[in-house]
Amino acid sequence: MIRFRYNRGTCPPCRAGFFVFIALLSGLISCDSAKQQGGVAGRILPNITGGAGEVLVVMDNFNWENSSGELMKDILMEEYPGLPQSEPLFDVIHITAASFDNVYQYHRSIVLV
């Protein structure tokens, strides 16, 4: 009969169990990062608003009505290629910098000019 003797600190199964324990412990600690950053528990990223094809353009009215605004509209509202009917790439929503408050800051796609 052959017996294997391991020292308590060098036992391979003990070492593997220790590393699994450390990995699980670090995973549980890292899941609590939302509370530490001032967020709500269970939610890491804030909820977004706006549709998938919407672009929010923050630009003053003077530039929006002049050539820079027209160029922005031409680029963002270009026709979507490959469709049988004419559709723009994005639905463009224009607001001014004064009305860009907390509600709009969580919009999905924002262009600040």
**Residue ranges per structural domain of the chain:** 1-44, 54-112
pLDDT for 102 equals: 85
34 residue type, one letter: A
CA 99 from chain center: how many Å?
23
Confidence of residue 29 (pLDDT cuts 50, 70, 90): confident
* Each residue's pLDDT tens digit, 63-99: 999 999 999 999 999 998 999 999 999 999 999 999 9
pLDDT for 27 equals: 77
pLDDT for 48 equals: 85
23 residue type, one letter: A
CA count, 13 A, side-chain hemisphere, 110: 17
Report the C-alpha gap between 41 and 33 in whole angstroms: 9
Tokens of 4: 């294997």
* Each residue's pLDDT tens digit, 38-49: 555 555 677 888
pLDDT for 59 equals: 95
In this structure, are residues 87 and 33 in contact, taking their beta carbons and an 8 Å threshold?
no
